[in-house]
Amino acid sequence: MSYSSWFQAHGEKHKKIIEKLTYLSDDELIEYFRFDNMVKNEPDFCPLYAKNKKCHDNKELNCYFCACPNFRFKDDGFEQQEERTLFSTCGINSKDGSQYISDDAIHQNCAGCFVPHSESYVKKYFTRDWFEAMSKVNKN
Report the nearest approach of ligand SF4 to the CB of residue 116 (Å). Answer: 5
Backbone angles phi, psi at 35, to 5 degrees: -50, -50
- Site membership for ligand SF4, residue 30 (CB under 6 A): no
Choose the stretch contacting ligand SF4; rule: CB under 6 A; options: 8-16, 30-38, 79-87, 111-119.
111-119
Backbone angles phi, psi at 138, to 5 degrees: -85, 110
Helix (H, G, I), strand (E, B) or coil at 79: strand
The answer to whether 107 and 71 have CB atoms below 8 angstroms apart is no
Residue 110 engages ligand SF4 in binding (rule: CB under 6 A): yes
106 near ligand SF4 (CB under 6 A): no
Q: Does 55 bind ligand SF4 (CB under 6 A)?
A: no
Report the residue closest to ligand SF4, judged by CB.
97
Distance separating the N- and C-terminal Cα atoms of the chain: 15
Q: Mapping DSSP to helix (H, G, I), strand (E, B) and coil, where does residue 113 land? A: coil
Binding residues (CB under 6 A) for ligand SF4: these are 68, 70-71, 90, 92, 94, 96-97, 108, 110, 113, 115-116
